[in-house]
Amino acid sequence: MTVATRNWAGNITYAAARRHRPSSVDELRRLVAASDRLRVVGTGHSFNRFGDTTGDLVSLVGLPDTVEIDRDRGAVTVSGAIRYGDLATRLHAQGLALANLASLPHISVAGAVATGTHGSGDGNRNLAAAVAGLELVTADGDLLTVDRADDRFAGMVVALGALGAVTRVTLDVVPAFDIRQYVHRELPAAALDEAFGSAYSVSAFTWWRSDRIDLLWRKQRADQAPPPADWLGATAAREPVHPVRGMPAEHATAQLGEPGPWHERLPHFRLGFTPSAGDELQSEYHLPRAALADAFATLADIRDRLAPVTQVCELRTVAADELWLSPNHDRDTVAVHFTWIADEAAVAPVLAEVERRLAPFAPRPHWGKVFTLDPTEVAAVHPRHGDFLTLLRDLDPAGTFRTAQLDRYFPRD
């Protein structure tokens, strides 16, 4: 039935008793209606057990392929299981684009949306904010279609797979555009705020070796003037680089100001390459945009602890949205992302210290990464947590899509 037994990173072995790959929506509906416990698995890029179940594990890649463009509406309706990179190639061929993409084009649309996954840019919202409609199979096997006119919609987009099996997603599209990507080395940390506002999408990478940003990746519209070589006290990279030391630069998207289409520049990594072997753990915390300088400073104070267990740390900014469980709900955000070494014992005490130091900034965890925040803390930083819990109880009263980790952060009682 060719359904994964482990997640991409290999740190989670799925506990499912049965695995399925339905070939039609009707088959999926019958499967859901007959199951006591069921979860949908996408491309497996989650690092925690929100998607783990002891019941039925289902892949939707066998459902009919869908890419339906509605130019009058400025939207495209796609299969939930389609990867962003595959969708982007087909959209670009039609002169269309998505406003934003994540660093990996290898992830599925439904999975990325469900966890609030994002790209970067002061003016760019996360990927879920582009969702204009959803089709999903609910716990009783019914097919439910919702859009922005539905009062529940803002609670159903970033939903952790807890409300049903998402079969189709409608996304806003824009005209295709070109991007140039420039990389700068050794940026002073004091220049970060200005740097993030300088281009369409900006990512800052540090290996925690010093008080400077090791690499700054600026993805600017092709018609924007190129930066000077000594921009903001940094130096221009003279050859392509990969954000993780020792990894081949050819796996990364084109740099040095070479113009190219949006879908070949906004991600950090090329679709045709595996970005890494998955030999890693990841954590990420979303903080108020205004906390950037203070949050970076408090983490820099422990860089001697961070450096040995960090492959790379990335900072990005994300614009606010209205989605209930989005890490960017109602506030502009700076996201602090850690790619750790694949050693849980070594990472755990450092992760605990990171969470302790970021606590004053009301961090919201990325739902698909490793975090250990107390459920009361997570509920406190999501103002619509209670509303989502009500929605969860209404749409899945028997807990068909629940997991142990969902129960921990969204208790039944």
Is pLDDT at 122 greater than 70 in this prediction?
yes
Categorize the per-residue pLDDT at 413 as very low, low, confident or very high, splitting at 50, 70 and 90.
confident
Q: HSE on the CB side for 298, CA within 13 Å?
A: 14
Give tens-digit pLDDT for 264-321: 999 999 998 876 656 899 999 999 999 999 999 999 999 999 999 999 999 999 999 9
**Inside any domain, residue 79:** yes
**Inside any domain, residue 299:** yes
Per-residue pLDDT, averaged over 173-193, amounts to 97
Same domain, 169 and 184: no
Same domain, 218 and 292: yes
Residues 264, 268: Cα–Cα separation, whole Å: 9
Per-residue pLDDT, averaged over 125-150, amounts to 98
Predicted local confidence at residue 279, as pLDDT: 86
Same domain, 168 and 212: no
**Inside any domain, residue 403:** no
Per-residue pLDDT, averaged over 184-193, amounts to 97
Domain that holds residue 167: 67-175
Q: What's 77's domain CATH number?
A: 3.30.465.10
Predicted local confidence at residue 358, as pLDDT: 98
Residues 50, 39: Cα–Cα separation, whole Å: 9
What tokens does 312 get?
A: 């790379």
Same domain, 193 and 297: yes
How many domains does the chain divide into?
Answer: 2
Of 123, 157, 175, the residue at which a domain comes to its end is 175
Give tens-digit pLDDT for 33-92: 999 999 999 999 999 999 999 999 999 999 999 999 999 999 999 999 999 999 999 999
Q: What's 337's domain CATH number?
A: 3.30.70.2520
Same domain, 271 and 297: yes
Q: What is the DSSP string of 328-351?
A: TBTS-EEEEEEEE-S-HHHHHHHH
Average pLDDT, the chain: 96
Same domain, 223 and 284: yes
Same domain, 169 and 278: no
Same domain, 228 and 369: yes
CA dihedral 124, 338, 105, 216 (to 10 degrees): 60
Same domain, 203 and 140: no
Same domain, 116 and 244: no
Q: Is 355 helix (H, G, I), strand (E, B) or coil?
A: helix
User: The pTM is what?
Assistant: 0.96
Same domain, 206 and 299: yes
Predicted local confidence at residue 309, as pLDDT: 98
Give tens-digit pLDDT for 7-32: 988 899 999 999 999 999 999 999 99
Residues 285, 327: Cα–Cα separation, whole Å: 8
Same domain, 259 and 149: no
* Cβ neighbours of 382 (radius 10 Å): 18
